[in-house]
Structure 1
Amino acid sequence: MNQPAQTFKNETRRYALIGALFGLLFPISATLIRIADQGLPYTLISAGRVQSTDSLLWIIDTAPLIIGYIAMLAGRRQDHSHQREIQLIQKEVEISAAKASLEQRVIERTKDLERQSVRLRVVGEIAKDAASSKNLTELLQRAGQLIQNRFGFYYTGFYLIDEGKEFAVLTASPTESGRQMISEGHKVRVGQTGIVGHVAATGESRVVLDTGLDAANSNSHLLPNTRSEMALPLKVKKDIIGVLDIQSDQPRAFSDDDVEVLQLLADQLAAAMERARLLQQVEQNLKDIELAYGRTTQESWKSIAESGLIKNFGYHFDNVRIQSISEPPALGNKAMQAGIMVSESNGSKHRIIAIPIKLRGQSIGSVTVKLKEGYRQLTISTIEQAVDRLAGSLESARLFEEARQRADREQAISHVTTAISSAPEFDAILRTAVEEIGKSLGDSEVSIQIIKSNE
């Protein structure tokens, strides 16, 4: 079956051979006809005699060559046609293969883009949810839990750089191993051999695709199934504030796209962390200011009380007459100490409430009210509003008194200064100064002495 393929390698040879064989029929037939016309026997000798004497046969003898050549040309054209067909088929095969490869690449790229889109959406959701946290600890805990739930990593942990920038301290982790490490006070020295220490020092992300080949892998006894690890810097501008450490139980689990997406998440979390830190700082400053204002308020009211400006420190009204009191009721003291409204029942149908008078978070007094049976909640709200306005009025009166006292001091100083300035001589200046200062202070003794030479 393979013999024809070996004999006729192409159409040109096959056509030439067939043409030559077909052309050979013409000289054979002509020779046989001449032998028959001359009445000679059909032998090779007769054929030779006829061929040597008839010039027409000589021309006919060239038929195999001529027909074979013509057939060869036809075969060559057929070869060229077949070759073009084969080339076209090969091109079609190549185009089909390229199309299939392109379609496969498009499918794979589409899947990659879909995964990337999903991860970017998840990153946005995580950043948005985490940013809603009110303090740094809550933010880190929530972000770690969201990363763990959405991406399904083996381990997630947040390291924060300490104030001395010497250690990266593990602060938050949603995993049991991470919580155990936090309870043990786990921290990594900045710049130490290891992925977290390296990132904390350089601020550049690092990925280990097979932790079995990384001798610097730490905490293997707490995270025995770790096969891949990725550490991402948490940076605010150029300052490194921490490291996001992510580990997987699969080798080569992180691609370049994963690093880009999670670094984007790390950047957004770092910004949210900085906002939370600033918010905590502002809140603490406000608390400190309120505390300072509270102490100032207490000291100011203490000064007012000691100055004798307040004749009576309290009054009691029984719907008939007003009486001054020197000490507040026991329930009033309780309300001032608690800083909130307190109430009690005296065994009858009446109910007693005590509401503290507060300025800047500090209690400066209390209002005690005995309520009749059947009172409404609106009654208590009305009393509370009245107490708030009372506190404002008392503070306004205190501020007015302080302003008046400052004005008196300024006036006294101005009077003393004017008197001193009008004295023409040293002795007159000293006499005027000691006299005016003494008069401004009331029953006080004043002495003035300037240095003199020991010689």
Structure 2
Amino acid sequence: PAEPDATYYNALEAAAMTQLENGDLDAYFVISDNYTLTGQIDLYARKNVPEVLSENIEDFLRDQLAAQIPESVNVPVEMIADPMDEATIRDLDTLLEEVVNLIRNRFAPVYHAQVFLIDAQTNRAVLRASTGQAGRLLLHRGHYLDIGSQSVIGSVTVTGHAVVALDTSNNPIHRRNEFLPDTRAEMALPLRIGKRIIGALDLQSTHPNAFSEQDIELFQGMADQVSVAIEKTALFDESLARLVEIERLNRSLTEAAWREVGERRGPSSTSASAGQVAPAGSWSALQREAIQTRQIAEHQEADRITLAVPVLLREQVMGAVEWQVPQANYTPSTRQTALELSDRLALAAENIRLFEQSLQAVQREQLVNQISSKLIGTTDIDLILQTAVRELGLALRASQMMIQLKPLGQPSDQPPNGGSDENTNEGSA
């Protein structure tokens, strides 16, 4: 009828229920007001996309679609959309693949869906996710379109507004793709974060005029949610990269610090032994193996077992501990105890090193303050220089010291005053 009445709606709902009971989820029924009911979703939502979207794109899709099915049609939420694994939001490729497959499977007019992301360095929109065999072929060849090119994707990525080609047979903005010869209508929606365009969501149909104004609103809401998910994923990747870099720097600093400790103290002060083992300061073959493999190294001889355990701090090898135990007492618990002891040793040694480092910093600060206090009390430059030389020499235990001041801009190898050493401000000891 031109104006659907209650009887018509009841008949429609009964037909939908029959389709559901028979397991046919693809059939749909069109009413004059563009309200379309399927066994899964309402393709033409009469409500506007809400301004505040849920954090999860799957929640948004489920809520948006479920809201359009009349309450009298009892459709389980699980039949509308399968929950998206929350972990996939941390992997961009998996996230985009989930999105395009979800759209293609849940929206009857869409036979192909894909996502392009902008590569700022090449000024191109690069295909990152695409459905079906055609999508796999396009991804394999590295498909892309130039931003601003004569294409739906080229237009949407330069304007930031939805672009729709209702009939691709007579629309010059549509660029035909040999892998998608059945496309008769195409709609592209911008992926954007604020005013920044990051890509496009591209939907294609085998029927002309398949997309309406309501579709633009609905799918733009989805595209905005996809943009938020992409941004979150990018921020997560950036944070992860920074964390990896911080860990690398920590390992590097730890290695350098302990190398300095070894050079300053010498091998005899950074090793110890007890019992009948190799002399302190030398590495046994087992210790070298443990250091190289970062695992426990074992050797059995007669009724005794010798094991070496690497000492690790922030994934950096600091050394190795070696034990000899009777074979009768050697159990998995012994190995675990050795590992835990080496971990405690690494932490204890690092705490001592940090304490000594802090103590040295305090001592340097005290020394600087002492020297500064002696320099503040005078305004005579020569006396200041003499005092500085004397105090620094005493603090550093230097046999000779000299401080010399030169005018700014004068070459370091040229004496002051044009080659004369007269009136040079200097102090020596």
With normalisation by structure 2, the TM-score equals 0.71
Aligned partners of 1:127, 1:268: CA distance in 2, in Å?
Answer: 16
Counterpart of 1:235 in structure 2: which amino acid? Answer: R
Partner residue in 2 for 1:135: 91
SS in 1 for 2:250: helix
Question: 1:182-221 alignment to 2 at 5 Å?
Answer: 182-221=139-178
Q: Displacement, 1:373?
A: 5.3
What do the CA deviations read for 1:100-133 (whole angstroms, capped 9, x no partner)?
7564367447973667856642878578446743
Is 2:295 the partner of 1:360? Answer: no
Question: 1: CA distance between counterparts of 2:3 and 2:103?
Answer: 39
Distance 2:378 2:342 in 1: 54
Could you tell me whether the CA contact under 8 Å between 2:89 and 2:95 is conserved in 1? Answer: yes
| Cα-to-partner distance string for 1:348-385 (whole Å, 9 max, x where unaligned) | 77666544322233222233445635744343333322
Which amino acid in 2 is paired with 1:261? L
Q: Quote the residue 2:102 is aligned against.
A: 146
**In 1, Cα distance between the equivalents of 2:98 and 2:2?**
48
CA distance, structure 1, for counterparts of residue 161 and residue 287 of structure 2: 62
Residue 231 to residue 441, structure 1, CA distance change in 2 (3 Å)? same
SS in 1 for 2:269: coil
Which one-letter code corresponds to 2:343 in the other structure? D
Sort the Cα spacing of 1:227 and 1:246 in 2 relative to 1 into closer, same or farther, 3 A: same
- The yes-or-no answer on 1:104 pairing with 2:60 is no
More helix, by proportion: 1
- Matched to 1:388, the amino acid is D
| Partner in structure 2 of residue 89 of structure 1 | none
User: Counterparts of 1:219 and 1:381 in 2: how far apart (Å)?
Assistant: 65
Residue deviations 1:251-287 (CA, integer Å, cap 9, x gap): 3333444333332222221111111100000010111
Gapped regions of structure 1 (runs ≥ 5) = 1-96
Give CA-to-partner distance per residue, 1:402-441, whole Å, 9 cap, x none.
Answer: 1122222223223322333456744433332222211211
Q: 2:346 is aligned with what amino acid?
A: A
**Deviation at 1:334?**
4.0
Matched AA of 2:158:
A
- 1:393 maps to 2:348: yes
How far apart, in 2, do the equivalents of 1:421 and 1:449 lie? 19
Q: Say if 1:130 and 1:143, in contact at 8 Å, map to a contact too.
A: no
Shift in alpha-carbon separation, 1:246–1:332, aligned structure 2, 3 A: farther
Q: 1:341 aligns with which of 258, 276, 295?
A: 295
Deviation at 1:243, TM superposition (A): 0.6
Query: 1:198 & 1:399 partners in 2: Cα distance?
Result: 59
Contact 1:171 1:182 in 2 (8 A): yes
5 Å-filtered alignment, 1:393-432, equals: 393-422=348-377, 425-432=380-387
Of 245, 260, 266 in structure 1, the residue corresponding to residue 202 of structure 2 is 245
Amino acid at match of 1:308: R
CA distance, structure 2, for counterparts of residue 147 and residue 376 of structure 1: 57
With over 3 angstroms needed to count, the CA separation of the structure-2 counterparts of 1:351 and 1:273, relative to structure 1, is farther
Structure 2 unpaired stretches of 5+: 13-30, 44-60, 66-80, 407-415, 423-429
Are the equivalent residues in 1 in contact too, given 2:267–2:281 (CA < 8 A)? no
8 A contact 1:335–1:342 mirrored in 2: yes
For 2:412, the equivalent position in structure 1 comes to: none
Q: Is the 8 A contact 2:116 2:129 kept in 1?
A: yes
- The question of whether the paired residues in 2 share the 8 Å contact of 1:434 and 1:446 is answered with yes
Provide Cα deviations, 1:112-167, integer angstroms capped at 9, x if missing partner: 36678566428785784467432222222332333344446432221101124821
Which residue of structure 1 lines up, in the alignment, with residue 403 of structure 2? Answer: 448
Contact 1:162 1:169 (8 Å CA) reproduced: yes
Q: CA deviation at 1:194?
A: 0.9
For 2:332 and 2:214, the matched residues in 1 are separated by 62
Report if aligned partners of 1:438, 1:445 keep a CA contact under 8 Å in 2: yes
Identity %: 32
The one-letter amino acid of 2:348's match is: S
Alpha-carbon distance, 1:247 to partner: 1.8
Greater shift, 292-301 or 435-444, is seen at 435-444
Summarize the alignment of residues 61-100 of structure 1 with structure 2, pairs less than 5 Å apart: none
Deviations 1:309-354 (A, max 9, x none): 763333344xx4576432333443344344x424455487766654
Alignment of 1:210-359 (within 5 A): 210-308=167-265, 311-317=268-274, 320=275, 324-338=279-293, 340-344=294-298, 346=300, 354-359=308-313
Number of residue equivalences: 356
Partners of 2:4 and 2:254 lie apart in 1 by 82
Match of 1:224, SS state, is: coil
C-alpha displacement at 1:175, in angstroms?
A: 2.6
Is 2:93 the counterpart of 1:169?
no
TM-score by length of 1: 0.67
Q: Is the 8 A contact 2:147 2:155 kept in 1?
A: yes
1:114–1:383 Cα change, 3 Å: same
1:393 CA displacement: 0.7
For residues 416 and 248 of structure 1, the distance between their equivalents in structure 2, rounded to whole angstroms, comes to: 82
Task: Provide closer, same or farther for how the CA distance between residues 328 and 141 of structure 1 changes in structure 2, counting only shifts above 3 A.
Answer: farther
Letter of the structure 2 residue corresponding to residue 112 of structure 1: T
What SS class does the counterpart of residue 89 from structure 2 fall into?
coil
Instruction: State how far apart, in whole Å, the 2-side matches of 1:292 and 1:434 are.
Output: 37
Q: Is the 8 A contact 2:187 2:204 kept in 1?
A: yes
Specify the alignment match of 2:62 in structure 1: 121
What whole-Å deviation, never above 9, does each CA across 1:189-243 have from its counterpart, x for those lacking one?
Answer: 1121111111111122222232222334335212122222221211122221111
**What's the secondary structure of 1:133's corresponding residue?**
helix
Q: State the Cα RMSD in Å.
A: 3.4
Letter in 1 for 2:232: R
2:305, 2:330 within 8 Å by CA — same for their partners in 1? no
One-letter code of the match for 1:395? E
Identify if the C-alpha distance between structure 1 residues 399 and 373 changes in structure 2 by more than 3 Å, giving closer, same or farther.
same
Mapped to 1, the partners of 2:363 and 2:64 lie a distance apart of: 66
